[in-house]
Amino acid sequence: MTRWQRDVVVEARADAILADARTAEEYAGHFAAQLRRTGFRAWRYRALRALLALLRGLRGLDLTTPPQ
């Protein structure tokens, strides 16, 4: 699919969605849910990277003997 063909399809879909107020509201709700999901995935990815960095830092420590 060329860029021009994609633009035509996107424009047709937008016209179909915005033609009816109820459809536009439902699409807005769907779009908001997608944004929330994307934000959660980004947060989860950052948390996982922070945890892995912490674990890499602890890898060289000997946690079996008490500190002196």
Domain ranges (residues) in the chain: 3-57
Q: Are 28 and 35 in contact (CB under 8 A)?
A: no
CB-count burial class (<10 Å; 0-12, 13-18, 19+) for 22: exposed
Does pLDDT of 3 surpass 80? yes
Q: Note the pLDDT of residue 34.
A: 85
pLDDT tens for each residue of 9-67: 888 888 887 788 787 888 888 888 888 888 899 999 999 999 998 888 888 777 777 77
- Map residue 18 onto helix, strand or coil: helix
> Considering the entire predicted model, what is its pTM?
0.47
Q: Note the pLDDT of residue 43.
A: 93
